[in-house]
Structure formats: structure tokens, C-alpha cells
Structure 1
Amino acid sequence: MTLLPGVRSATVDTDRLRMHYVESGPADGTPIVMIHGNLSTGRFYEHLFPDLPDGYRVIAPDMRGFGDTEPLPLDATRGLADWAEDTGALLDALGVEQPPHLVGWSTGGAAIARYAHDRPVASLTFIDPVAPYGFGGTHRDGRPCFADFAGTGGGTTAPELVSRLAAGDASADSPFSIRSVMRAAYWAPTHVEPREDLLVTEVLKTVVGDDGYPGDSTPSQNWPGTAPGTRGILNALSPKYCDWSDIVELDPKPPVLWTHGEADVVVADSSALDMGTLGAAGEIPDWPGDGVFPPQPMVGQIRDILRRYADAGGRVCTEMFPGSGHGPHFDARDRWVAVFTDFLHSA
């Protein structure tokens, strides 16, 4: 579909895979690289490009498993390392040598944290990032609820969502169609997204199956009967493999901006997608109780890690967005751009 004015689309061969991206700004501008989340693409940032400050080259790639990037498998045992290394390979292929300002939404938050361990960065901006200990199945301090990380990974998603994605369902006929999921979870219910048709089309490019979304799974004797596999995006997000709490050890420490929608139902202290939350609500039978498998306190975990980052000498800016959902850069776009721009100028 038609790009917004000033936005360019391209595909480049890197030394890891062929990647598609959208970009704006001068080729020699200070780089901003925006990494999307699960079930989205680089075009989920495109609406921000026109109002970002001059002098920056803004690059938003389609990450492995999504969009128009080469559909190679995702090795979940590396967490989001494939995404981080793919991003580095893209910048190398584009001849970008200056350390980038990195933005990571949701899943992308873990990817940019991993990137910062391997390469210099100018700053890190988290938009409702996955919790630092991964998604689901942990206590406040990051301890797993079960040794095999049962209750996380590829077996925890709704089968109807997977089947509708595979069928290319663009309708709103079911709460499990991607259009309905976006309206319920990506932004505040009061937000009407003018680019919704485009974004639905983008999500329907997702690689569906064991190597993509949701990934494979392993039977477990622990509740709720499924544990992570080794392939695909939901396993990469499992606390078995995903852990960016070691961001505290970065040296030097780039400045950090954390933006959070206070009405987020995805990354929350009682996430609507977390097995602990669903068990406590009676949606999944035989829940073993709060002492064994509590709802993961995701926002609390993010606060804890960023507080430790600040205590260790890092600069952390935090902005809460009352009433916003999982994507404040959608439902509070103008304020989010203003906050991000101020942060860029101070970084």
C-alpha cells in the first residue's frame, strides 16, 4: 500500500538474511532504528516519521518472521539474539557506522537490550517492552514458577488466533481475528486507528508455524501442561530464553527512555495474555494458586530493573501515558513524539 510522503521502502541483502525496511530522512543523518513488536512490522512506526526531528535517518525494518523480510526460522534458544544480530547486519549492509538511537516496542524491547550488549548505541527507548525476565511464568524477582518454564512459550497462545492468521482472516468476525486483537490489545479501545486496514495486511504477512508464530511447544507435567519448545517467536519470549535484566551491567550505559501505556493489557502486572492471570480468573482450570504461579508483575519487574540501572549510574527517563494501551505511539501519538523528541535532544 502507498507509503506516507517522505517515506522510502527498500530491501537489502545482509550477511544474515534479506531484510525489508522503511525509512525517512537523509542518508547521512543520525540513525534512529525502530524495532517493532510481535505480530507487527516496520510500518507500525511509519506514521511517526513525518513529525520526527530533522537531521535523523529513521529506519524501521521488518524483523525475522514478519513482513517482507526473508522468512528464515527463528532460533528461540537464543532469545531475541537473532533479531539483535539481524539489526546489526542491516546497519552494516547500509553502511551505517554511527551508534544508533534504538527504539523497541514490546518484543522489540528485548531485542534492543540485547543489541546494546554487542554494539555501541546512542540511546535506548522502550515502548511497553516485554518484561526483563521474559513473558509469563516468573515471580517478581525473576524466579521461574516451574523449572521447565511451563506456562510460557509456543503452546500458550489461542489456537483460533493461529488458524485465522494462517487463513489470512482480515475480518473482525471473531475476537481471535487479528483486527479484533489489535482493537482490543494494541491500543486503547477508544482509539480509532486510521491505518488499520494497512496494519492488518502487514500482520497477515507473519510466518505462521513452528519456525515463526507461535513456535513449537513441549508437553509438561506442570500446569497448564505445556512448556517452551526451541523455535519461533513465543518461545524466544519465554523466560527460559529471554532475559534482558543484565542491561544493568552495560558499560558505558546509554541513556534510557521508558514509555508505558497505563491501560496496557499486554504488558501489565496482570496481563490479559499471561497464564497466571488467566488461571486466577478461572479461564484455565486447575490453577495451582498465587504462591506457585502468580500473574507475572511485568511492570513491577521493569521498574525494578530500570531502578537498578539508574542506581548503577545510568540515566533513566520514565513517561507514563494514562489511558493509553500497549501502543502509546498510536493512541497518544503526538505526546509520544514530543516526549521522544525531547529525549533525543537530551541524549
Structure 2
Amino acid sequence: MHVTTRGPADGPAVLLIHGNCSSSGYWEPLLRHLPQDWRIVAPDLRGYGESPALGVDATRGVRDFADDIAPLLAGFARKPVVVGHSLGGGVAMQLLLDHPESIAALVLEAPVSPYGFGGTRDLDGTPTTPDFAGTGGGSANPDFVRLLAAKDRGTEEQASPRNVMRAFYVADPAAFGDDEELLLDTMLSTAVGDDQYPGTGSTSDHWPGVGPGDRGVLNTLSPRWLNLSGIVDLPVKPPITWIRGDQDAIVSDASFFDLAQLGKLGLVPGWPGEEACPPQPMIGQTRAVLTAYGPYTEIVYEGCGHSPHVERAEDFAAELARVVAAA
């Protein structure tokens, strides 16, 4: 695993876990605002950045990622604050499930719902269909996958990585500033294939006719394999800070990456209606689980999208400093 480290070994400890279609380099806009005396460790998940594409067994949920990172917890001189963005938020929750005694606090930035991505209808994570149709590798946009594999840097095609990053990673692409090329590099570092991103798919008798497979990244997030709500029963509960933007287009109750929401908008034909296939209430699910968990704080930035640490770097750094000081 490729791991970026900074700061003295005995400094206040922070473990940064990046999200999907990015790498540890996606933390760069935040790192500039963090104290030099912190011990910061930022791994590239398998198949991202400079880490090898080892393949992902989706039947384990996000445990392949979490098991890769777990040994890093023991490398700190003190318990770390674990920060997870998007997919990385799910990995952070899995680490919490497996190693609650080794974590000082958790910061979840625009995290995937504890009930996975897509395919659930209510705050309890009830599956919309018995085979979790519309989730996993079968839900990926094939044009985006093709252009990601080609490492396309252009804007000619709507689904190009640059266009997707500008449209969905932030509320306003001006937030990237001079970092756009660097952050696009992190996106293009994604290993593409059945064993990595997006993963395998399946057919379904239910709308929209596709479903999850058992290999690859998007399948790790399917509610068929992922359920992190068990954190509410942990005997040890480090405090959790949940940070999100109110304009997040990826993780929201009306996500543009949820096929049920796209069907509702008429962008995917044949949607069977709200009663049969409602959009996933991602924000409501996370809030319900964290409320049952106990010690948590929710922070919402106005006019901010899926990457608060990029869009509101100074504010995010200040909040992280508060968490680190309390820990």
C-alpha cells in the first residue's frame, strides 16, 4: 500500500481515508491548513493512487479496504482521529466496528449511508427489492467507465471524468482553483475493471433490470453486502462528527447517482413510481443511525457540495482541529 505521511511520529494523530475515484492526493487542499506538528497518515486504497489493484471481494462489504488500513492504527503513538470521505466514510465506520478501542474520534465527511448506496426505501434501510436492483456495479455509467479507463482529461463528452468532477464533486467548480489538475490526477488514478471499479453487475427482474455483482468497488457499497448500522451497538463509542454540504449531489436524499432518483426525474425510463421504488433517504438514514449511536455532531455547510474539505478547507481544518484537541 502506498501511504503518505507527514509530521512527527509522536504528534496528534490523524488518519485520512479518501473516497471513491480519488486517492490520498485528494486531501492536498486540506493539508495546507493543518498544523505541521500533527502526525498525518493518508493511504491510497487498493486500486487507487499508487497502491496496487489487488481486486475487491464485494461480499465482504468494505472490509477489504478496512483490513488493509487496520494495521496503520497500531503505527500511531496515540489513538488517531479517523477522517473518512464518501466511500472512505464507510471504510471508517467499518474500522470503528472492528477496532473501536483503537480510534479516538471519527470525522465522517459526506459519508455513504450506513445502509449502503441505493436500493433501500426508508430510515431503517429496508430493501426496495429482494435482489437489491439498481445498486452495485450494474448501476455504473458505461461512458464514464470507458473515459475513466482511457484517462480522458477533456470536456468534449458529457460523462468525461473532468466534467463529472466539476459537476458532482463540488457545488461550484471554481472551488478547485489551481488544484483542478492535481485533483483530476487522483480521479484518473482509479484502476478500472471487474475486480476494481466499477465491478461486476447482474441482471434483475425488477426495475431497472440491473443489480449488484460480487466483485469490485461499487458492489462493496450495495446494501446487498454493506450494512454498517451495527455501530449503534458498540460497547465503546468514540465521538463522531458528521460534516456535509447542503448541495451534495452524490450523497443526499435526492442523489443524482441513485437510479431511483434518476427514474423519478425521467432520466431512466420505466420507473415504477414512488411507492414501488422511492429514492434512498441517505441523509435521513445516516442521521437515524448516528442518533441511535449517541455521541455525534452534525455540521452542514451552506452552498457546499460533496467535498467540504476542498470547498471549505479552512472551516473544515478548524473543525478537525477542534476534534483533535478534544481527543
- Residues 243 and 299 in structure 2, CA contact (< 8 A), matched pair in contact too: yes
1:23-102 aligned at under 5 Å gives the runs 23-92=5-74, 95-96=75-76, 98-102=78-82
Deviations 1:6-47 (A, max 9, x none): xxxxxxxxxxxxx11222111222321110110000011122
1:318 partnered with 2:298: yes
Q: CA deviation at 1:200?
A: 1.3
CA distance in 1, matches of 2:48, 2:233: 31
Task: Please tell me the residue identity of whatever aligns with 1:303.
Answer: R
Structure 2 CA distance for aligned equivalents of residues 83 and 302 of structure 1: 21
Give the Cα separation in 2 of the matches to 1:191 and 1:259: 21
2:35 and 2:234 map into 1 onto residues whose CA distance is 28
Secondary structure at the counterpart of residue 202 of structure 2: strand
Q: Deviations over 1:188-239 (max 9, x none)?
A: 1253412111121222121101011100011111111111100010000101
Task: Using structure 1 for the length normalisation, give the TM-score.
Answer: 0.90
**How many Å apart are 1:97 and its aligned residue?**
5.4
Contact conserved, 2:73 with 2:79, CA < 8 A, in 1? no
Matched, 1:103 2:72: no
Secondary structure class of the residue paired with 1:203 = helix
Aligned pairs (5 A) from 1:1-347? 19-92=1-74, 95-96=75-76, 98-119=78-99, 120-140=102-122, 141-189=124-172, 191-193=174-176, 194-310=178-294, 315-347=295-327
Q: Tell me the distance in 2 between the aligned counterparts of 1:51 and 1:166.
A: 33
- Structure 2 distance, partners of 1:21, 1:271, is 31
How many matched pairs?
Answer: 323
Kept in 2, the 8 Å contact 1:29–1:57? The answer is yes
Name the SS of the counterpart of 1:45 in structure 2.
helix
Q: Is the 8 A contact 2:167 2:173 kept in 1?
A: no
Residue 320 of structure 1 and its aligned partner are, at CA, apart by: 0.5
Please report how far the alpha carbon of residue 51 of structure 1 lies from its aligned counterpart in structure 2 after TM superposition: 2.1
State the alpha-carbon separation in 2 of the partners of residues 344 and 292 from structure 1.
44
Matches of 1:265 and 1:258, distance apart in 2: 17
Q: Distance in 1 between matches of 2:10 and 2:158?
A: 44
Find the aligned partners of 1:24 and 1:108 in 2 and give their Cα distance: 20
Deviates more, 1:42-51 or 1:141-150: 42-51
Q: Distance in 2 between matches of 1:32 and 1:340?
A: 9
Distance in 1 of aligned mates of 2:169 and 2:141 = 17
Q: Percent identity?
A: 44
Q: 1:267-299 CA distances to partner (integer Å, 9 max, x unpaired)?
A: 010101101101111111111111111011111
CA distance in 2, matches of 1:90, 1:342: 23
Q: SS at 2:2's partner residue? A: strand
RCO higher in structure (CA 8 A, sep ≥6): 2
Q: What letter is aligned with 2:56?
A: L
**What letter matches 2:158 in structure 1?**
P
Moved more, 138-147 or 47-56: 47-56
Q: CA deviation at 1:248?
A: 0.7
Structure 1 residue 80, shift from structure 2 partner: 0.6
Name segments (4+ residues, structure 1) moved above 6 Å: none
Pairwise CA distance, 1:91: 4.4
TM-score, length-scaled by structure 2:
0.96
Aligned-residue CA RMSD (Å): 1.3
1:148 Cα deviation (Å)?
Answer: 0.6
Work out the CA distance in 2 between the residues paired with 1:209 and 1:190: 28
More helix by share: 2
Query: Which residue does the alignment assign to 1:5?
Result: none
